[in-house]
Amino acid sequence: MAVGTVRSLLAEVEAEPAPFLAVVHAVHDAQGYLAPEDVAAIAAALKLPTADVFGALSFYYYLHQGSEPSSLVGVCDGPACRLAGSDRLAERVRRQHGIGEDGRSADRRRRYRDFPCAGLCDWRPVRRADGRCDGEGKAGNPLPAGTHGAAWPIDSEKAIFRFADADLRRLDAYRAAGGYAALRKVERGGDPAGLIEAVADSGLTGRGGAGFPLARKLAMVQGAAGEEKYVVCNADEGEPGTFKDRAIMECLPHLLLEGMAIAGYAVSAGVGIIYLRYEYPYILDALRRAVEEAQAAGVLGDFRVYVRRGAGAYVCGEETSLLNSLEGRRPWPRERPPYPTERGLFGRPTLVNNVETLAAIPAMVEGGAAWFRPLGRAGATGTKLYSLSGAVRRPCNFELPLGVTARQLIFQHGGGTLNGRALKAFTLGGVSGGLLPPDALDTPLDYAGPARWGGTLGSGGIIVYDEASCLVDAALVHMRFFEKESCGKCFPCRIGTVRYRELLEELCGARERETSAGDALSLFQELAAAMTHASACGLGMAAPLTVTSLARHWPHEVESHVRGRCPAAVCRI
Ligand SMILES: Cc1cc2nc3c(=O)[nH]c(=O)nc-3n(C[C@H](O)[C@H](O)[C@H](O)COP(=O)(O)O)c2cc1C
């Protein structure tokens, strides 16, 4: 592409904050690839080191660097899709597109590549072609079409996310249903400190994984020195088995915008940026429409919102990697302190929160802390969107009191296991929160309960395995994901995920045995200690959980693999 064309694409966005990803996608969308001269032109225009920009762009799954357009086809190799037969689907997709041994179609316009979980676990198994994902299981999903399987609690009075209501994607419908009243209320109140106090009273904690109290973060950004501050909405949602933010953004985009504007008011930030994962193109359109509508109608006041699209890298969900990604740097974690609350995007105080956290704010403001708090169970506060998938009858998002038990979620709401087989295990936090045994079914799914089982709730993604599943194989699938997605910046994670994958392959018979039985088990623990204590971010810290919980709760299954046998009906290796 001519340098002039790159410049004119850039001219459209360069007055906006964080223009890097916008111009990269504009060039990539226009011609289907990024040529070296395009990358050099982008780097020069944004005054970034060219080598760094090449390095950053090569990091992403969906950006094709080359000299001719090429479109990706493939199937999702995430755990829910694998359970639903993605390997058989892969053969069909290859045949359909005439993919040869070299992974290319005869006309060389299509490349075959399996892709990591695309957040469509309720439609499993999922395929990709021509820039769109589609789920083979979509038609068989028993939930209403158009809602993407979003659901609400039994008592809908207590729902924060009113997926079932009329089309609240439209501004007029959203306003008619009382939308933007919470924003008006806080503006009228004129008391950001009082607002932060109310958030503290409500007990609202971050829903993206760590459960950090929102009020503390708001207070830190409010108190940080600096004229210019940002609100960044983390909509990267790359965790396998997690698809709740997708439902919020698709069905209730204005709820998110209102939550961001209220958060902006609390911390005195005038700009909000939504970092949306690449795999949700249909949401990109919905969000952009909602932003245009809201800004044209003036409902956001002076608060400006911009949408930036990721390009395919799980680690970009980690908040400091996300900020690097927005800045056009290699998207790997930053050292902390300083925390983003003090020095975040472009060195300015930045509030980074998950979609669900921000979208919960308007209801909390409207209903008040005293209404919000008791929505949870057993000391937990508010509701939570749980994404349920895997070997379960009703794979879906469920908004339920934070702290419901896994039994209620899986059996009462999810309809129990597929085919009525006995439940063997369920994951927490997508694949980052560990594997839990049936004995843990009565554990409250909140930020404290799962700890005694060695797990963490994380994002709220729960994948069910039934008795036919081989859990060593499941752990291998999880570990392959972490290995592929490890950014490579720190060696405990870079090397640890590879060693774990190799060990699990040895156990599954997919690789020649080099490790003795006793060594394998002690290596499980040694690697976990090194990775948990020395990794640079949560990816390397969480990756061992799946293996350590396997060894803790299913020692017999591990031992029989050590002896070369698998007790499960389905060991895919
Ligand atoms: C590897 C990795 C991936 C993550 N992915 C996401 C994500 O997709 N969405 C998200 O909100 N948080 C994600 N997080 C957590 C964020 O770093 C951060 O804690 C969160 O955005 C804070 O928002 P909250 O307080 O509202 O939860 C991830 C963390 C790690 C270590």
Per-residue model confidence as pLDDT tens digits over 413-447 = 999 998 889 999 999 999 999 999 999 999 999 99
Closest residue to atom 2 of ligand 1, CA basis? 318
Query: 45 CA to middle of ligand 1, Å?
Result: 31
What is the reported pLDDT for 314? Answer: 97
What does DSSP assign to residue 347? G
Tens digit of pLDDT for each residue in 331-361?
Answer: 999 999 999 999 999 999 999 999 999 999 9
**80, pLDDT greater than 50:** yes
pTM: 0.96
**CA-derived radius of gyration, the chain:** 23
C-alpha distance across the termini of the chain, in Å: 45
Closest CA to 357 of 234, 186, 266, 268: 234
Closest residue to atom 22 of ligand 1, CA basis? 353
Closest residue to atom 13 of ligand 1, CA basis? 317
Whether 207 lines ligand 1, by a CB cut-off of 6 Å, is: yes
What is the reported pLDDT for 68? Answer: 86
**How far apart, in whole angstroms, are the C-alpha atoms of residue 269 and residue 303?**
8
Report whether 408 contacts 386 (CB < 8 A).
no
What is the reported pLDDT for 67? Answer: 86
**How far apart, in whole angstroms, are the C-alpha atoms of residue 566 and residue 472?**
9
pLDDT bin (cut points 50, 70, 90) of residue 287 is very high
pLDDT bin (cut points 50, 70, 90) of residue 270 is very high
- Best substitution site from 318, 352, 355 to test ligand 1's pocket, by max atoms within 8 Å of Cβ? 318
pLDDT bin (cut points 50, 70, 90) of residue 165 is low
What is the reported pLDDT for 240? Answer: 97
**How far apart, in whole angstroms, are the C-alpha atoms of residue 131 and residue 281?**
8
Closest CA to 261 of 181, 193, 169: 181
The pLDDT of 374-392, averaged and rounded, is 93
The pLDDT of 270-274, averaged and rounded, is 98
Going by their DSSP bridges, the two strands 271-276 and 71-75 should be labelled as unpaired
3-state helix, strand, coil in the chain (%, to 5): 45, 15, 40
Tens digit of pLDDT for each residue in 111-147?
Answer: 999 999 999 988 889 999 988 888 877 755 544 444 4
Comparing 510 with 417, the larger pLDDT belongs to: 417
Report whether 81 contacts 93 (CB < 8 A).
no
- Read off φ and ψ for residue 190, nearest 5 degrees: 60, 35
**How does the average pLDDT of the chain come out, rounded?**
92
Whether 38 lines ligand 1, by a CB cut-off of 6 Å, is: no
Closest residue to atom 24 of ligand 1, CA basis? 206
pLDDT bin (cut points 50, 70, 90) of residue 152 is low
Closest residue to atom 12 of ligand 1, CA basis? 208
Closest residue to atom 15 of ligand 1, CA basis? 318
Comparing 562 with 325, the larger pLDDT belongs to: 325
What is the reported pLDDT for 437? Answer: 97
Report whether 385 contacts 161 (CB < 8 A).
yes
Count of all residues that appear for the chain in the document: 573
Whether 318 lines ligand 1, by a CB cut-off of 6 Å, is: yes
Comparing 141 with 242, the larger pLDDT belongs to: 242
What is the reported pLDDT for 148? Answer: 47
What is the reported pLDDT for 112? Answer: 95
The pLDDT of 373-383, averaged and rounded, is 92
**79, pLDDT greater than 70:** yes
The pLDDT of 206-211, averaged and rounded, is 95
**Percent of the chain surpassing pLDDT 70:** 95
**How far apart, in whole angstroms, are the C-alpha atoms of residue 263 and residue 231?**
7
Give me the residues paired with residue 213 across strands.
205
Whether 282 lines ligand 1, by a CB cut-off of 6 Å, is: no
Residue type for position 286: A
Query: 211 CA to middle of ligand 1, Å?
Result: 10
What is the reported pLDDT for 8? Answer: 83
What is the reported pLDDT for 12? Answer: 84
Least reliable range by pLDDT among 39-53, 300-314, 409-423, 557-571:
557-571
The pLDDT of 544-557, averaged and rounded, is 93
pLDDT bin (cut points 50, 70, 90) of residue 571 is low
**How far apart, in whole angstroms, are the C-alpha atoms of residue 161 and residue 153?**
10
The pLDDT of 102-114, averaged and rounded, is 92
